[in-house]
Amino acid sequence: MSDFVCEPLGNQHDRALVDCGVSILNEYLVKYAKQDVKRKASAVFVLVHRAEPRRVIGFYTLCATSVLLSELPEAMTKKIPRYPEIPAVLLGRLARDIHFPRVGELLLSDAIARCVRVASDIAASLIVVDSKDHAATRFYEKFGFLSLPKFEGRLFLPMQTAEKL
């Protein structure tokens, strides 16, 4: 990752050059990401190459959320406080430019590390993602994400597992 830097989205970043291969993700980055940051709806982080720091290679978003205790697998509920809602961080979007294969893992690794760093300050027990398809689900499962049984495509990673990664 020494050639790449993941940083908060800023005015210096050229968002128009990104092609994630999914128009809704491209549109989000170009039209809505800065608004989400300004309104505190999501934090947006971009991956850039050190040699070309204006060009966005990929991005992800983070925001606070919660998961109902009743939505977690029973084995998991024995390891966390028994509050009705469990604090979590939502990894809302994660995308990379189609011209930069294999940086998705860098983006996810950075997102997980960032969540672990802030979890002690804001008390989050889980990282939650909404997977868009089976390929994305397999990608997240490689990092230890588990399915939420009551929600198809929604996965979670216990913060204790994230800390070990």
pLDDT per position as a tens digit, 16-31: 889 999 999 999 999 9
Burial of 51 (0-12, 13-18, 19+ CB in 10 A): exposed
Give me the residue label for tokens 């989050």.
124
**pLDDT of res. 88:** 95
Q: Any idea what DSSP says for residue 69? A: G
pLDDT at position 104 over 80 = yes
Other beta carbons within 10 Å of 25: 19
Please state the rounded mean pLDDT for residues 154-160. Answer: 92
Q: Name the average pLDDT for the chain.
A: 92
**pLDDT of res. 1:** 54
pTM score above 0.75: yes
Q: Domains in the chain, start-ordered, CATH in brackets?
A: 4-164 (3.40.630.30)
Other beta carbons within 10 Å of 17: 14
